[in-house]
């Protein structure tokens, strides 16, 4: 039995769901365009540069969840899926996921983007497991804060290991472990698995993959 882990944004998706969710809320008038569009871009640029303060970003990204009912958020998310996400689900990424599922591997999305945004996306790909940053809830209402360690950089390893433990599994339970990602922010988890695969990688990851003989593929 193999373990196959996929990053989501700019890996399985030809775009970034975290960034697009904020842009979507701006387009709906839920968030102020002048204030939030500039900050959203700044955070996205910091992520790409490897300088993002994940807790500062989550304070920005999760607060809108706390201001609206779950029914309203779910309605917006359904529209978000159809207008923003499905066009980013490439034929190649869907075919790769199907092949891994049909092989009998344990397949999961591992993403820093919060589980409210990414849960429906993982389900749309048919992926049964999601390891993501968790937005805290109280009595079914989002608090605007994260719960536990964000699934970001080294935090992805901690969250994956906790998930495996919850299934009664560990790294040694698998014949081979793989992780597909586009970002140098994911180097900790890529170095942990037996088979790291760079997908449409950023320049830093591409150079690292080349130096270490890792496969480089495109799903675009």
Q: How many residues does the chain have?
A: 220
CA dist 139 to 65, 67, 69, 135, 182, Å? Answer: 14, 14, 12, 13, 36
Q: Is 16 a catalytic residue?
A: no
- Residue ranges in the chain assigned as alpha helix (H): 17-27, 33-49, 54-66, 70-80, 91-102, 115-125, 155-166, 187-192, 203-212
Token output for 192: 């942990």
Residue 31 burial class via C-beta count within 10 angstroms: exposed 0-12, middle 13-18, buried 19 and up: buried
Q: Among residues 2, 7, 45, 186, which one is catalytic?
A: 7
Q: Is 32 a catalytic residue?
A: no
CA dist 110 to 58, 61, 179, 189, 192, Å? Answer: 17, 18, 9, 10, 14
Active-site amino acid positions: 7, 9
């Amino acid at each position: 039995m193999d373990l196959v882990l996929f990053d989501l944004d700019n890996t399985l998706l030809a775009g970034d769901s975290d960034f697009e969710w904020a842009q979507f809320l701006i387009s709906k008038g839920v968030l102020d365009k002048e204030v939030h569009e500039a900050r959203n871009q700044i955070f996205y640029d910091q992520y790409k540069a490897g300088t993002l303060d994940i807790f500062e970003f989550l304070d920005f990204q999760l607060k809108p969840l706390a201001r609206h009912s779950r029914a309203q958020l779910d309605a917006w998310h359904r529209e978000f899926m159809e207008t923003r996400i499905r066009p980013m689900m490439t034929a190649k990424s869907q075919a790769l996921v199907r092949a891994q599922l049909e092989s009998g591997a344990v397949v999961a999305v591992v993403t820093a983007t919060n589980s409210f945004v990414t849960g429906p996306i993982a389900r749309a790909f048919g992926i049964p497991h999601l390891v993501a940053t968790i937005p805290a809830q109280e009595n079914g209402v989002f608090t605007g804060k994260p719960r536990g360690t964000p699934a970001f950089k080294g935090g992805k390893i901690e969250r994956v290991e906790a998930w495996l433990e919850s299934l009664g599994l560990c790294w040694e339970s698998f014949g081979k472990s793989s992780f597909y990602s586009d970002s140098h922010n994911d180097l900790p988890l890529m170095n942990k698995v037996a088979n790291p695969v760079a997908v449409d990688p950023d320049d830093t990851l591409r150079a690292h993959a080349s130096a270490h003989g890792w496969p480089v593929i495109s799903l675009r």
